[in-house]
Structure 1
Amino acid sequence: MSRLRRMSPRRSYDQYCSAARALDAVGDRWTLLIVRELLGGPRRYTDLHADLPGVSTDVLASRLKDMERDGLTTRRRLPPPGAAYVYELTGRGRELLPVLQALGEWGAPSLGERGATDAVRAHWFALPLLRGLAGEGAEGLVEVRLDEGEFHVWLGAEEGPAYGDGPAPEEPDVRLSLDTGTCTDVSRGISTVLDAVREGRIEVTGESTLAKVLRGE
């Protein structure tokens, strides 16, 4: 049965409409959340599964095969000593960044209070915070420290990952320290980054031009 599932044709709405064509490729459950994870750079299957709580291994494997077939992702083997396979977005896949940001902006008002069963990862705040920072016309590498952990975002980058999990891979232009509540408020549009800085809810560290802009200097 698994072989038949792998070889089955892609389901289609069979409508001559660009929105329908887009949903043919990314409308299945979990597909856009896989894109969200891969916008942070190449990921191993086990890492993807760990950061997509609730997805079964069969569904994840199926979605990754479909995404590779549709030209959204590629799979490659890391050189030794890693020697593991990783999945990464193609240029076509990375073009979904503004789509996810628009969906996140549209869905932000429904966040409300975090439910008792709601999973959370620090880097899930990367895309809404990236949108908030980009609204200030800023560029550079930003490291963000939350209660749940750290992540970093590249502002103004046209190629490569939009963000990454964990500390910045090099000295960032600025470090931001804030709590999850503040990050949620920025995500929901209740507060801007600059307002949160002025109110003392975001601590800005660094002497770069970007740091000074965020501090209003």
Structure 2
Amino acid sequence: MSPRPRRSYDQYCSAARALDAVGDRWTLLIVRELLAGPRRYTDLHADLPGVSTDVLASRLKDMERDGLATRRRLPPPGAAYVYELTVRGRGLLPVLEALGAWGAGELGERRPTDAVRAHWFALPLLRALREAGATEGVVEVGLEEGTFHLHAGARAEEEGEPLYGDGPAPGPSDARLVLDAVTCAALGRGEVGLREAVRTGRVGVTGDGAAAKALRED
């Protein structure tokens, strides 16, 4: 499938130019998924419930054309194709963080039709960790919806490393958090800080790393 002809607002405005590239439905959510590192097409499709295969393929082609993502083949024994963000694509991280903060107020009670993946809370929790002073290390997060891990701190952001990943941390973690989706949403809305949530028992913390110690400080 070849990329669609580029559509444009034809306005000499930086916001309009940005929306020319990322304003289509699903594009920014694909970026959200690729912030976890290289992903196979099938993995992306599984974690973007509601997107059709044709639309996902089309958006990925558009993102390659616009320099937001690249496609490469993994070496054996993997031998699968994966998509990953370019430097330009990763530059959308603060855009997604700001958009998530702006939209956090819309996360009221979960609707029956709402899909959820545990790692969709990764970006709000990374911001909450920064605000709590837990600025370095690997943090494992356990929710009823699943487990994921975060790479807190500027190094992952600056060096192009994955910011989060599904499942337990691949090695020793600096902290493990246990909480529920309601608390995650409250953290995203700024109704409670992470250290306050730890102090009041809404978030459980284990571990002896710097991140765990920062969250347990009074």
TM-score, normalized by the shorter chain, greater than 0.5: yes
Query: CA–CA distance in 2 between the matches of 1:173 and 1:85?
Result: 32
Please state how far the C-alpha of 1:7 moved relative to its aligned partner: 5.3
Helix, strand or coil: the match of 1:125?
helix
In the alignment, what sits opposite 1:76?
72
Query: CA–CA distance in 2 between the matches of 1:104 and 1:210?
Result: 23
Please state how far the C-alpha of 1:8 moved relative to its aligned partner: 4.0
TM value normalised by structure 1: 0.95
Q: 1:106 aligns with which of 102, 106, 129?
A: 102
Please state how far the C-alpha of 1:82 moved relative to its aligned partner: 1.3
Instruction: Name which of structure 1's ranges 6-15 and 200-209 shifts more when overlaid on structure 2.
Output: 6-15
Question: Does 2:36 correspond to 1:44?
Answer: no
Question: Does 2:111 correspond to 1:141?
Answer: no
In the alignment, what sits opposite 1:26?
22
User: Matches of residues 134-213 of structure 1 in structure 2 within 5 Å?
Assistant: 134-137=130-133, 138-156=135-153, 157=156, 158-159=158-159, 160-213=161-214
Query: CA–CA distance in 2 between the matches of 1:124 and 1:8?
Result: 28
Instruction: Name which of structure 1's ranges 120-129 and 9-18 shifts more when overlaid on structure 2.
Output: 9-18
Matched AA of 2:212: A
Q: 2:114 aligns with which of 108, 113, 118?
A: 118
Gaps of 5+ in 2: none
Question: Does 2:89 correspond to 1:128?
Answer: no
Please state how far the C-alpha of 1:148 moved relative to its aligned partner: 0.6
What is the percentage of aligned positions where both structures have the same residue? 74
Residues 154 and 7 of structure 1, relative CA distance in 2, 3 Å threshold: closer
Residues 79 and 21 of structure 1, relative CA distance in 2, 3 Å threshold: same
Matched AA of 2:178: S
Residues 7 and 147 of structure 1, relative CA distance in 2, 3 Å threshold: closer
Helix, strand or coil: the match of 2:45?
helix
Helix, strand or coil: the match of 2:148?
strand
Residues 150 and 69 of structure 1, relative CA distance in 2, 3 Å threshold: same
Query: CA–CA distance in 1 between the matches of 2:120 and 2:20?
Result: 25
Query: CA–CA distance in 2 between the matches of 1:28 and 1:132?
Result: 28
TM value normalised by structure 2: 0.94
Query: CA–CA distance in 2 between the matches of 1:88 and 1:7?
Result: 17
Aligned length: 213
Gaps of 5+ in 1: none
- Cα RMSD, aligned residues only: 1.1
Helix, strand or coil: the match of 1:106?
helix
Residues 7 and 168 of structure 1, relative CA distance in 2, 3 Å threshold: closer
Query: CA–CA distance in 2 between the matches of 1:91 and 1:146?
Result: 31
Please state how far the C-alpha of 1:136 moved relative to its aligned partner: 2.3
Moved over 4 A (4+): none
Query: CA–CA distance in 2 between the matches of 1:115 and 1:176?
Result: 25
Query: CA–CA distance in 2 between the matches of 1:43 and 1:143?
Result: 20
Helix, strand or coil: the match of 1:74?
strand
Instruction: Name which of structure 1's ranges 24-33 and 128-137 shifts more when overlaid on structure 2.
Output: 128-137
